[in-house]
Structure 1
Amino acid sequence: MECFAAWKTALSRLVDCAIPADADPALFDFHGRSWQLPEAFVQVNGGSAMSMSRTQRVIDDRPISQMSLYVLTSGSAVADYDGRKRSHGPGDVVAVDYSLPYESRTPGYEGITLTFDRASAPAGLQGDVHGMALSAHSSAGKLLGTLIRSLVEHIDGLSVDQAQSAVDGILRFAAAALPTGAPRREREDVPLFDRAHRLARGRLSDPDFGPDDLMAALGVSRSKLFRAFEAHGGVRRWLLGIRLSASLQVMIRSAGKLKISAVAHQHGFRSEAHFSRAFRKRYGMSPSAAQASTLHAHGSLAYLGWAEDEVGTEGSTAEAWLATARTGDWAGAGRGRSSRV
């Protein structure tokens, strides 16, 4: 149980997790290794019986702009990707969008995850692909799984640029191979604010997306939309906050290696100057100063270590992390970090 508690604390900012009621806590295990690349995060992990969920509450409290490709290398899992139910076996590859809810349960597994920013992903991965999978029995699934496993097998012998190029190729193939889901109807019981969150996160890179687009997509009147966002300072202010929070997440995950102009473009700002003004007003520092903090703190790997100790911190993960990064009160971690709980 101590082992599980440590694991749960480390992951609590991303998912809610538990040991299934029919599993023996004494057998709990989680292990993994990760590699931070300029525009991707590669992780190999596995463990015993467990369940994980990213609920709408977690999404609203800790929004992130990332997606992942996941290949199960051994074991099995059942999952619900916001209404898409899937059973996974060894070799299956699935796309996960962290801006949407999901639940999964496994009696034990080993797998590989490629995490990347949605805004910079190939166009084919920016549609409704949450929970879309390629079977291990299909030719495309076999090839994609082989590519991902081969990357991990050889990554220690590659330069960072070579590894990133390999990931880029894998994502391009996945974009062409994964089926695209038909547009899903919004459930009437999903609150207006929750639906707005999903729409906004899917249009972060579009500088023209604004209140009128949100109103049309939600099918509500202007007055109803603006009343719903009065407590958040209005629709435009709320949308700006979504863009800024997501941009900070990307700056952390890239460990300061992305140009500020690129971050601004990915998150719908028409110019670097506009982005810098808005960023400074929200965070009290310039994007370049925040970027320097991520470099000094060794980027997102220090972020992972910090999350274990600061799980009770108020505010979003990225913003709380930045406040801590400015003090420099931690020890950093290096590329290729390994952990076993």
Structure 2
Amino acid sequence: MATPQRQEWPFPPGAECLAAWKDAISLLVDCSIPEDADPALFDFHGCAWQLPGAFLHVNGGSAMAMSRTQQVIDERPTPHMVLFMVLEGRVTSNYDGLIQEHEPGDIVVVDYSLPYESQTSGFEAIALTFDKASVPVEFQSNTHGLVLTANDPTGAMLGGQIRALAEHIDGLSVHQGQVIVEGILNFAAAAFATPATRERRDKRFLFQRASSAARQGLSDPDFGPDELVAALGVSRSKLFRLFEPHGGVQRWMLAERLRASLQSILRSTPDHKISAIARNHGFRSEAHFSRAFHKRYQISPSSVRTLSRDSLRMATYDTLLRRGDGNGGAIVEAWLAAARA
């Protein structure tokens, strides 16, 4: 009985491992490690099994980033998709404009015919790669970036199947392994096709578009819900439902303006007037800006500028930004709360 051939990653952590890792996935993605990372400590490890219609890979590693841009897609086309299940760590990915952060238990669909970027500070995962044409038609389109979590019953079921395959594949025949893979993919197609799953995905993607459009208009004091409705081509009621968990469109936009202005104050020179920063972020007057700023942060803009002259505090801020534990707005607000305390 022929069994799937197990292939172990043969390189220990270090520069040779980094070079081999880059070469191994160069056909799929451009890859790198953080600028401040030591190549001598780079780690990638795992094992893989080749089946007639799929490739199973159990792997993990240290901090890394991967990118499949449209240019890469055009230059290095591939007909593959992958079910990627996070076991440990966190992975932040951008699926053609839809940004998501994945935690242990998440299972995501990646379609290599569409742009994709990811970065992690370290992870363990199982990846099941397969030919796009081998799965049901409804699974071949509009699934890029769809996620099932461990809290979702279908996600828990699918995750259990993927884990079981990785655990027992050494004891299966090639035929048995392939039959199980086909069963997993058929179940995944049904799981990801549920209206609730697609609704969550569509809502996240619309919010991402809305956020991007709103941020581009934040410097214009006249940019508000009506302009956002026109930019997105959705109804006013749909837009308001989308931002309801964030306190409404106006409140969300005010918060974004204040976060952006806070970052500008920290990075501005002493001769850059607070009034100019206020205007650049959509506030009609410095007085209006100062009142809104103080209400949110319990500190005045000028006092924040004083804090920014403290080299130790700013060194802490720079460290937080390099570490990248969240978006820039969340980081600067967390830093300010700590600095005030």
TM-score, with length taken from structure 1: 0.52
Deviations 1:107-166 (A, max 9, x none): 111111111111121233112000100012211111111110100100011111111111
Where do residues 4-153 of structure 1 align in structure 2 (5 Å cutoff)?
Answer: 4-153=18-167
Residues 17 and 52 of structure 1 are in contact (CA less than 8 Å); yes or no, is this contact kept in structure 2? Answer: yes
Where do residues 197-236 of structure 1 align in structure 2 (5 Å cutoff)?
Answer: none
Residues 84 and 131 of structure 1 are in contact (CA less than 8 Å); yes or no, is this contact kept in structure 2? Answer: yes
Structure 2 regions of 5+ residues with no counterpart?
1-14, 210-341
How far the C-alpha of 1:21 sits from its partner, in A, is 2.3
Please give the secondary structure, in 2, of the residue aligned with 1:100: coil
How far the C-alpha of 1:182 sits from its partner, in A, is 5.0
Distance 2:119 2:41 in 1: 16
Distance 1:107 1:158 in 2: 34
Percent identical: 59
Distance 1:159 1:131 in 2: 32
How far the C-alpha of 1:91 sits from its partner, in A, is 0.8
How far the C-alpha of 1:17 sits from its partner, in A, is 0.4
Deviations 1:174-203 (A, max 9, x none): 111113355989x9xxxxxxxxxxxxxxxx
How far the C-alpha of 1:10 sits from its partner, in A, is 2.2
How far the C-alpha of 1:55 sits from its partner, in A, is 0.9
Deviations 1:233-256 (A, max 9, x none): xxxxxxxxxxxxxxxxxxxxxxxx
Q: Are residues 1:168 and 2:173 paired?
A: no
How far the C-alpha of 1:9 sits from its partner, in A, is 2.0
Number of residue pairs matched? 186
Give RMSD over aligned pairs: 1.9
Residues 8 and 17 of structure 1 are in contact (CA less than 8 Å); yes or no, is this contact kept in structure 2? Answer: yes
Distance 2:33 2:166 in 1: 28
Deviations 1:254-304 (A, max 9, x none): xxxxxxxxxxxxxxxxxxxxxxxxxxxxxxxxxxxxxxxxxxxxxxxxxxx
Distance 1:65 1:114 in 2: 14
Residues 41 and 115 of structure 1 are in contact (CA less than 8 Å); yes or no, is this contact kept in structure 2? Answer: yes
Distance 1:121 1:81 in 2: 20
Runs of 4+ in 1 over 3 A off after TM superposition: 180-185
Larger Rg: 2
Where do residues 271-286 of structure 1 align in structure 2 (5 Å cutoff)?
Answer: none
User: Which protein, 1 or 2, shows the higher relative CO under an 8 Å CA cutoff with sep ≥ 6?
Assistant: 1
Look up the match of 1:333: none
Q: Which has the higher helix share?
A: 2
Where do residues 160-309 of structure 1 align in structure 2 (5 Å cutoff)?
Answer: 160-178=174-192, 179-180=197-198, 182=202
Distance 1:23 1:77 in 2: 17
